[in-house]
């Protein structure tokens, strides 16, 4: 095993904006080794008072919508405004090998070398919502390191987007125009969770299609109830190639933040994020604890085989496990 990292060195490095030590700290919190997890908990406790000041933006959308291209254009715009931008890019990974292409740094050529930007690709490995289990914790470290905007790019392959919304302040849904009947592509659940929609690739011959799609989605949103905070999601169009519309997207997010802060809902949502993280990690820890009990892991394996073979139904198998607890 490699020498254990010094928590004091990591904390001081993070607070001083040392990117190399920030990367090492994120690697530590992503580790599943029990010793590393204990150190990660101490590290997070130390930096927690210095976090919470950044705007957390979750970005999702179907593959091909241009998430990485949009994030690069958006990120460069933010840097031009004097912001420090961290991108936690969740890459698709294999459920077989757990490997990942981790190509976001090559796709974001300008942003990856910008002085006030930090890009951290991580493998999703089947996590719900296209998120790694420690994405929220990684964002806290980035906030403590002085980043003003935390962008979380998800896989966007139709998994549960609830996990995305539970760790961000603003949930941005990217959509394509000209892919058939616009309303056919609307999924009510994700539309209700979105704080804003952006029609991408609004350039060249596609501009008019993007404008038409904006109108369609705006009408659809009109029939949905407003968010609990009273915010009505807005729809915008942009081109990540020529940068048109990017400024309007950030204006939408600023308007949202002002609205949420003024009515107190911003703080409420942050509290919900904290509780969601606690409950998610608690479920994970309790599950691992159960598996460590004598004989239970083997018992579960035998029940899994019985379910797979059709000798027992999943419901009775779970009840069988419940009786042994």
How far is C-alpha 204 from the chain's CA centre? 31
Distance CA 232, CA 194 (A): 10
pLDDT recorded at residue 307: 95
| CB-CB contact of 202 with 210 (8 Å) | yes
Q: Are 135 and 158 in contact (CB under 8 A)?
A: no
User: Which CATH number among 3.40.50.300, 3.65.10.10, 1.20.1250.20, 3.40.50.2020 corresponds to the domain 51-263?
Assistant: 3.40.50.300
The pLDDT, as a whole number, for residue 248 is 97
φ, ψ for residue 201 (rounded to 5)? 60, 35
| Coil/strand/helix, residue 110 | helix
Query: Sign of torsion, CA 112 113 118 120?
Result: positive
Q: Where are the domains of the chain?
A: 1-50, 51-263, 277-324
- Token representation of residue 283: 């479920």
Q: Kindly give the confidence (pLDDT) of every residue in the chain, 325 residues in length, as a single tens digit, with 9 standing for 90 and above.
A: 567 789 999 999 999 999 999 999 999 998 878 899 899 999 999 999 999 999 999 998 877 888 989 999 999 999 999 999 999 987 554 333 343 444 455 578 899 899 999 999 865 544 444 344 588 899 999 999 999 999 998 865 454 466 778 889 999 999 888 654 444 445 666 778 899 999 999 998 899 999 999 998 888 888 888 888 999 999 999 999 999 999 999 999 999 999 999 999 999 999 999 998 888 888 878 887 888 887 888 889 999 999 999 999 999 999 998 888 7
Q: Could you please state the CATH topology (level 3) that the domain comprising 1-50 is classified under.
A: 1.20.5
- Output the pLDDT for position 151: 96
What's the confidence (pLDDT) of residue 30? 86
> Are the C-beta atoms of 31 and 119 separated by less than 8 Å?
no
Chain length of the chain: 325
- The one-character DSSP state at 31 is -
- Quick one: which of 81, 57, 60, 111 has its CA closest to 253? 57
Cα separation of 146 and 14, whole Å?
Answer: 8
Tell me 167's DSSP state. Answer: T
| pLDDT value at residue 86 | 97
| pLDDT of the residue at 100 | 41
| Dist CA 26 CA 225 (whole Å) | 38
Contact by Cβ (8 Å): 179, 65: no
Q: Is 51-263 in the same CATH topology as 1-50?
A: no
């Amino acid at each position: 095993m490699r020498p254990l990292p010094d928590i004091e060195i990591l904390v001081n490095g993070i607070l001083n904006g040392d990117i190399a030590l920030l990367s090492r700290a994120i690697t530590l919190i992503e580790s599943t080794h029990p010793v590393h997890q204990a150190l990660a908990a101490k590290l997070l406790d130390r930096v927690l008072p210095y976090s919470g000041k950044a705007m957390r933006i979750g970005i999702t959308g179907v593959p091909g919508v241009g998430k990485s291209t949009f994030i690069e254009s958006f990120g460069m715009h933010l840097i031009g405004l004097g912001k420090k931008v961290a991108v936690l890019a969740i890459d698709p990974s294999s459920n077989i090998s757990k490997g990942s292409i981790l190509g976001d740094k090559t796709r974001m050529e300008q942003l990856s070398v910008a002085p006030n930007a930090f890009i951290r690709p991580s493998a999703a490995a089947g996590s719900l919502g296209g998120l790694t289990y420690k994405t929220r914790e990684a964002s806290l470290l980035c906030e403590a390191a002085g980043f003003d905007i935390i962008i979380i790019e998800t896989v966007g392959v139709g998994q549960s987007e609830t996990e995305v919304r539970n760790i961000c302040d603003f949930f941005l849904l990217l959509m394509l125009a000209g892919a058939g009947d616009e309303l056919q592509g609307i999924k009510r659940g994700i539309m209700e969770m979105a704080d804003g929609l952006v029609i991408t690739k609004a350039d060249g011959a596609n501009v008019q299609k993007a404008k038409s799609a904006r109108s369609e989605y705006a009408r659809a949103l009109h029939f949905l109830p407003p968010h609990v905070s009273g915010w009505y999601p807005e729809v915008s169009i942009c081109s990540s190639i020529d940068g048109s519309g990017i400024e309007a997207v950030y204006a939408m997010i600023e308007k949202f933040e002002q609205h949420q802060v003024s009515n107190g809902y911003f703080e409420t949502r942050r509290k919900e994020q904290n509780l969601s993280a606690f409950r998610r990690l608690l479920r994970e820890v309790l599950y691992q604890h159960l598996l460590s009990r004598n004989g239970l892991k083997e018992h579960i394996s035998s029940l899994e085989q019985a379910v797979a073979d059709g000798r027992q139904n999943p419901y009775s198998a779970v009840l069988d496990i419940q009786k042994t607890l």
